[in-house]
Amino acid sequence: MKKSLIKSEYKTLIFVIRGKKVMVDADLAHLYEIPTKALKQQVKRNIDRFPEDFMFELTFREKLELVTNCDRLSQLKHSNINPIVFTEQGVAMLSSVLKSSKAVRINIEIIRAFVKYRALLSENEELRKEIQELDKKLNQAFQYLLEKLDELHQEKNEPLTPIGYKIKGK
């Protein structure tokens, strides 16, 4: 991972695991420029500040899936310790546990990244709704056109009355 990330790149460190947006302990430790072990020690010393909706340990399967999907976390593949992930609230709580000014500055940027991520998701939800409404209108217009074509087709299939002379016997 790069020594320092551009602020907009913090969003690339956010993953969705168990339906929650989280950041991995190794990434956070790298950003705070401390060993992952030190970060985990501080969390364990203050475990009462980190309920399960703030932080949780990945299962072996979740760890493998994360490593498979993210090349920069390949060093976790051979670790016998499963990573801990932090939700937005957990990252905010880290600033009270890690008291350095660097930790506070990084936490502010990470919280901003979570906010941008959430905004992006809500924009996509609004766009999805608009597309669904447009799709519904197009389906109605298409159905109307099909009905009109069927009416025209039925008019053409009605038997025509012959015009002209009738030949006897036929």
Selection from 80, 53, 77, 48 nearest residue 65 by Cα: 77
**Looking only at Cα atoms, what is the longest distance across the chain?**
111
Q: What is the mean pLDDT of residues 87-95?
A: 84
Selection from 3, 97, 4 nearest residue 44 by Cα: 97
pLDDT value for 3: 45
Give residue limits of the domains in the chain: 7-121
From 76-85, 144-153, 154-163, the region with the lowest mean pLDDT: 154-163
pTM value surpassing 0.85? no
**Cα distance between residue 38 and residue 80, in whole Å:** 17
pLDDT tens profile 111-120: 787 788 777 7
